[in-house]
Amino acid sequence: MKKILSAVFVFTLLLSSCQGEDGIDGQDGGLFVASAFEIEIDFNAANNYEYFEDYGFYVYPSDVTLVYILWETANGQDVWRLMPQQVTFDEGTTYESELTYNYDFTQNDVRFFLDGTVDLSTIGSAWTQNQVFRVVVVPAENVDAVDTSSIEDVMEANRIEAFEKK
């Protein structure tokens, strides 16, 4: 009797661990997991202060793309912020200008871009060069279950242990 119960338990465990999405183009389906990568970008006039990156993996129409920018390093720890993020420059007058780090996405790619009221050609390279981003494509089922403003919470909820560098 113990052997039969053990066999049923193992079979049930295997069956439940194989649940997931139906496959695409005849491929087997998989578990609902997030895909992620890290990328470093230089923004300049030549690329119109924007950059497109293909995912390199299949993205479902219902998936949600989240982008985080490496904002600073504090006490040896990287500080990531969910985009969009805005910087205000004091022009020394009553006029302040703003720079916005932003993104949009399709099922095929993600676009990173700079926007705002500041003349992008006048800001220093610290704002445009070597900007590091982490991209996480989250299955729609998982988005409401986590605080997306926290990259650590998103990583934990979606079992992301590392970011592929592009």
pLDDT at residue 165 greater than cutoff 60? yes
SS3 104: strand
pLDDT of residue 93: 57
Close Cβ partners of 36 (under 8 Å, ≥ 6 residues apart): 134, 135, 136, 137, 155, 158, 160, 163, 164
Phi/psi for 87 (5° steps) reads: -120, 135
Q: Grade residue 166 by pLDDT with cuts at 50, 70 and 90.
A: confident
pLDDT of residue 1: 40
Q: Distances in Å between the alpha carbon of 143 and those of 67, 109, 137, 147, 157?
A: 13, 19, 10, 8, 9
pLDDT of residue 34: 65
Instruction: Say how many C-beta atoms besides its own lie within 10 A of residue 125's C-beta.
Output: 10
Tell which wins on pLDDT, 80 or 157.
80
Instruction: Tell me what the mean pLDDT of segment 64-83 comes to.
Output: 96
Strands 35-41 and 109-116: unpaired
CA distance from start to end of the chain: 54
Per-residue pLDDT tens digits for 111-126: 999 999 999 999 999 9
SS3 94: coil
Instruction: Tell me what the mean pLDDT of segment 75-102 comes to.
Output: 88
Phi/psi for 100 (5° steps) reads: -120, 125
What pTM, to 2 d.p., does this model score? 0.75
pLDDT of residue 92: 62
Range with the poorest average pLDDT among 87-91, 140-144, 147-151, 162-166: 140-144
